[in-house]
Amino acid sequence: MSQHTVIVGGTAGIGLATARRLAAEGHRVTVIGRDADRVKQAVAEIGGEGAQGRAASMTDRAALNALFSELGPVDNLVVTAPGTGAPGTLAELDLEALDEAFHTKFTGLAHTVQAALPHLAKQGSITIVSAASAQCALPGTAGLAAVNGAVETLTPTLALELAPIRVNCVSPGVVDSDWWNRVVPAAQRAAVLDSFVAATPVGRIGKPDDIADVIALLVRNGYLTGTVIPVDGGARLKPQA
């Protein structure tokens, strides 16, 4: 029987690439995002009889509870939905924006895991997504580093709390996805993304499929748990002086 994998954030970017990849590996995938039209479009793009989608926000606990009850047994949960972000150095950070960033990405993740748990197979897995900002020490990303650091720190503890359910995390570098539309004006987007290439040892930024490939590995490999895997083209590495 095919595995049922729910991807919260699966209607675009890294989540949609993951849904396509896992569907191709034979999973029945359910993609979740807030926008119903995007959900419909993503399901059509994934194709096949096993693909379905639902519209819900990971911050709406009542909707998540109802949704997971309706979906029934789940083998794997993947959470790729981003937070609202909180740009700037800590000295200038808008602390309401920081609260909102934690509320969306971190607490939203916690709501999703709590809502899914009663339906998640004991031999199943949870895969979550942080960001390279947690490990890169890049001035101007204090809020992103804090939120994504919290996601990464949670991973090994959650792996022990929920064992034998496996819990892993992927930490992406810069990836060409819609995420950037919220933080950069369209006219500057290509230039901003290009500006990261020089600081990336592999000489390019990431594609959603680069990250989806590793998420699929974490879902598939029954001996991996409590790990945080950086998939960033080496961007976190700094030459020694």
Ligand X SMILES: NC(=O)c1ccc[n+]([C@@H]2O[C@H](COP(=O)([O-])OP(=O)(O)OC[C@H]3O[C@@H](n4cnc5c(N)ncnc54)[C@H](OP(=O)(O)O)[C@@H]3O)[C@@H](O)[C@H]2O)c1
Which positions lie near ligand X, rule CB under 6 A? 8-9, 11-15, 32-35, 38, 57-59, 80-82, 104, 108, 129, 131-132, 172, 174-175, 177-179
Closer to ligand X at the Cβ: 13 or 143? Answer: 13
7, 39 contact by CB (below 8 A): no
Residue number closest to ligand X, CB atom: 13
CB of 57 to ligand X, least distance (A): 4
Closer to ligand X at the Cβ: 77 or 174? Answer: 174
Element (H, E) at 231: strand 228-231
Closer to ligand X at the Cβ: 86 or 162? Answer: 86
End-to-end CA distance of the chain: 54
Closer to ligand X at the Cβ: 6 or 58? Answer: 58
CB of 188 to ligand X, least distance (A): 15
CB of 59 to ligand X, least distance (A): 5
Report the residue count for the chain: 241
Element (H, E) at 168: strand 166-172
Residue 126: strand pairing partners:
77, 167
> Please, what is the Cα angle at 109 between 72 and 32, to 5 degrees?
50
